[in-house]
């Protein structure tokens, strides 16, 4: 094996069905399932497969998906094809398809695709429940915008909700943490009436100069779940709105300070971390300036809490950086350090050469791409943390 040092005593499982790779949202759509091929190639090239249990989970069944989603929605989703789709059908529009957006296209094999990534998240949760692993990884999941009867923002089935529901059969309190650059609105909404799930999301929030809110437009600091005091879910969501260009040091401080307090106050029995890679610098859709190791430090931090951990993917629209990040984070889970030089014999090696400069091939300096000025002042972030800690006082009852 290449680059492995001092494995630690964590049992890690990797849940991956390679058939997910062969699906296409359409040319020029930013969501590219082949980023998972790149990720897998890197993981294998570094020999990380020898440090984990590998599983190839079966696709989820419609029955399993119906544990969260509406039947009518699933019947539509399982039946629709590019050939039979009727873009002016009211059902089509009401389930989140079509319109001018095309965020959620109907493509060949759509039902197969959603069943595969959902099956992997449910299988990963199952492994945690049965104590077969301490950390279970599914990089093909993390589709946090899907609602029970609605496709939204490239997400059709909410595998995270299904996995958390499964964890709740064994664990009293589950903490959901979301570091995708977008707000984890679908997961927050799904658990708004329970105190057994605490959801927190860090994300870009704000209006651009053309007057459009950054997708999905929700997740300001004052949004803490339902406001009705009779609702058990009141106060069980925390949102951290961030502006363009946040850097490594600021993000690590924000994440560490707030998450430590959530752990102390909520004391979860299991944690689900959505590790969307669109919060990296140089992402096609994102606005932050994070480097791979700063992103990975969030995984390291969460691992250090020593609770059963489900680690899932999400966004990430510059495929070579998605692969680098998720390979690095897989290594973090198993306790391995990787050399900055890639093993040279890997297929797709060209994908990792060029474009970025300063730093190595696995860990290029993404901050150098400097696509977004940092609009987050120290004072503003300080206030944000104060407000977040104030929000958490609700948990003291
Ligand atoms: C595209 O080039 O902000 C979809 C989407 C398809 C192909 C050609 C069609 C051209 C960027 C995005 C029409 C594109 C219209 N194609 C895009 C309000 C919007 C309406 C749609 O990481 N237009 C909607 C969703 C976000 C909006 C982000 C993040 C998912 C996740 C978890 C979802 N939607 C404005 C945009 C393209 C496209 C190019 C696009 N869509 C960028 N941002 C959005 O959180 C996985
Ligand atoms: Ca987020
Ligand atoms: Zn995203």
Q: HSE (CB half, 13 Å, CA atoms) of 324?
A: 30
CB of 153 closer than 6 angstroms to any ligand 1 atom: yes
Q: Which of 30, 114, 180 to mutate to test the pocket of ligand 1 (most atoms within 8 A of CB)?
A: 30
pLDDT at position 15 over 80: yes
Q: At what angle do helices 378-392 and 248-266 cross, to 10 degrees?
A: 10
From the CA of 181, how far away is ligand 3's center (Å)?
Answer: 5
The whole-angstrom distance between residue 375's C-alpha and the CA centroid of its chain comes to 24
pLDDT at position 137 over 80: yes
Per the CB < 8 A criterion, the answer to whether 176 and 219 are in contact is no
pTM here is 0.96
CB of 284 closer than 6 angstroms to any ligand 1 atom: no
pLDDT tens per residue, range 72-124? 999 999 999 999 999 888 889 999 997 777 899 999 999 999 999 999 999 99
CB of 315 closer than 6 angstroms to any ligand 1 atom: yes
CATH architecture of structural domain 12-396:
3-Layer(aba) Sandwich (3.40)
Q: Which residues contact 196 (CB under 8 A, 6 or more apart)?
A: 168, 172, 173, 174
From the CA of 7, how far away is ligand 3's center (Å)?
Answer: 31
User: 3-state DSSP call for residue 235?
Assistant: coil
Q: So what's the ipTM on this one?
A: 0.98
pLDDT tens per residue, range 237-293? 999 999 999 999 999 999 999 999 999 999 999 999 999 999 999 999 999 999 999
User: 3-state DSSP call for residue 240?
Assistant: strand
Per the CB < 8 A criterion, the answer to whether 189 and 160 are in contact is no
From the CA of 278, how far away is ligand 1's center (Å)?
Answer: 13
19 is a catalytic site residue: no
Query: Residue 184 has what pLDDT?
Result: 99
Taking the C-alpha atoms of residue 67 and residue 244, their distance in angstroms, rounded to an integer, is 37
Query: Residue 354 has what pLDDT?
Result: 66
Mean pLDDT of the chain: 94
Q: Please name the residue whose Cα sits nearest to atom 10 of ligand 1.
A: 102
pLDDT tens per residue, range 345-388? 777 777 887 667 566 789 999 976 667 999 999 999 999 999 99
Q: Which of 144, 166, 183, 295 is catalytic?
A: 183
In the sheet that holds 237-242, the strands lie side by side as: 53-55, 12-15, 135-138, 309-312, 270-274, 174-178, 197-204, 237-242
Structure tokens at 227: 């406001």
Structure tokens at 12: 């890690």
From the CA of 65, how far away is ligand 1's center (Å)?
Answer: 25
pLDDT tens per residue, range 179-221? 999 999 999 999 999 999 999 999 999 999 999 999 999 999 9
Report the candidate in 54, 74, 215 with the shortest Cα–Cα distance to residue 138. Answer: 54
Taking the C-alpha atoms of residue 94 and residue 72, their distance in angstroms, rounded to an integer, is 11
Q: Which of 103, 153, 155, 312 to mutate to test the pocket of ligand 1 (most atoms within 8 A of CB)?
A: 103
Kindly list the domain boundaries of the chain, sorted by start residue: 12-396
């Amino acid at each position: 094996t290449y680059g492995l040092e001092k494995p630690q005593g964590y049992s890690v499982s990797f849940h991956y069905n390679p058939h997910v790779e062969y699906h296409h949202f359409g040319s020029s759509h930013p969501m590219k399932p082949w980023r998972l091929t790149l990720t897998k190639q890197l993981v294998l090239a570094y020999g990380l497969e020898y440090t984990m249990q590998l599983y190839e989970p079966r696709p989820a069944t419609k029955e399993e998906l119906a544990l969260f989603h509406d039947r009518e929605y699933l019947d539509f989703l399982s039946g629709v094809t590019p050939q039979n789709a009727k873009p002016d059908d009211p059902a089509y529009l009401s389930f989140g398809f079509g319109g001018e957006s095309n965020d959620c296209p109907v493509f060949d094999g759509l039902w197969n695709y959603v069943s595969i990534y959902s099956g992997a998240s449910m299988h990963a949760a199952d492994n945690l429940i049965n104590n077969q692993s301490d950390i279970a990884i599914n990089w093909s999941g993390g589709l946090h915008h899907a609602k029970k009867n609605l496709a939204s923002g490239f997400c059709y089935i909410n595998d995270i909700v299904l996995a958390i529901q499964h964890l709740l059969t064994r664990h009293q309190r589950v903490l959901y943490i979301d570091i995708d650059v977008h707000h984890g609105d679908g997961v927050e909404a799904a658990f708004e009436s329970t105190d057994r799930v605490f959801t927190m999301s860090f994300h870009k929030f704000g209006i651009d100069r053309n007057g459009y809110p950054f997708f999905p437009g929700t997740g300001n600091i004052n949004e803490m779940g339902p406001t009705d005091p009779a609702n058990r879910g009141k106060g069980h969501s925390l949102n951290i709105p961030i502006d363009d260009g946040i850097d490594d040091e600021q993000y690590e401080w924000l994440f560490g300070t707030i998450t430590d307090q959530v752990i102390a106050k909520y004391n979860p029995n299991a944690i689900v971390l959505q590790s969307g890679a669109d919060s990296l610098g140089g992402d096609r859709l994102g606005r932050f300036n994070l480097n791979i190791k700063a992103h990975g430090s969030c995984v390291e931090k969460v691992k250090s809490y020593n609770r059963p951990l489900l680690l899932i993917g999400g966004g990430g629209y510059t495929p070579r950086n998605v692969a680098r990040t998720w390979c690095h984070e897989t290594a973090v889970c198993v306790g391995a350090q990787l050399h900055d030089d890639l093993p040279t014999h890997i297929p797709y090696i060209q994908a990792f050469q060029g474009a970025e400069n300063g730093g190595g091939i696995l860990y290029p300096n993404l901050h150098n791409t400097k696509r977004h000025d940092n609009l987050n002042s120290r004072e503003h972030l300080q206030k944000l943390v104060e407000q977040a800690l104030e929000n958490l006082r609700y948990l003291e009852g």
